[in-house]
A = this chain, B = another copy of it.
């Protein structure tokens, strides 16, 4: 089993070493090992966990709540139901975000048409008159 340094993990996951240390300080990755002198040693499974963390973050979940999820993970099977519920909630959140973004896209498309036709005509006036 091989280990990765914090800067290797940062590069791989496209985030900064500062961010990784911040996540550690906030309790998102309590399972990361250390050398006797304190240097963090990341395993493959730690990187996978960070990917889940990034996924939850991208659903709009704040770090404090992600920390709660991580704590549940280390509690074992007794928290299975909670963790399942959490992902169902996140699924609903993402669905809502997708709906919102699609509405946004519609308006943007309208504006693209508006400006394309205005440019064709050379003036915005065509949309304002009759």
CB distance from A45 to the nearest CB of B (A): 11
Q: Which residues of B contact A13 (CB under 8 A)?
A: none
Q: Which of B52, B98, B112 contacts A84 (CB 8 A)?
A: B112
How many copies of this chain does the complex contain?
Answer: 2
Q: Is A90 part of the contact surface with B, judged by Cβ < 8 Å?
A: yes
Q: Which residues of B contact A124 (CB under 8 A)?
A: 76-77, 80
Q: How large is the interface on A (under 10, 10 to 19, 20 to 34, 35 or more residues)?
A: 35 or more
Q: Which residues of A contact B (CB under 8 A)?
A: 51-52, 55, 58-59, 76-77, 80-81, 83-84, 87-88, 90-91, 94-95, 97-98, 100-102, 104-105, 107-109, 111-112, 115-116, 118-119, 122-125
| Contacts A58-B100, A87-B108, A90-B108 supplied; 15 other A-B pairs, CB < 8 Å | A52-B111, A55-B104, A55-B107, A58-B104, A76-B124, A77-B122, A77-B123, A77-B125, A80-B123, A80-B124, A84-B115, A84-B119, A88-B112, A94-B104, A94-B108
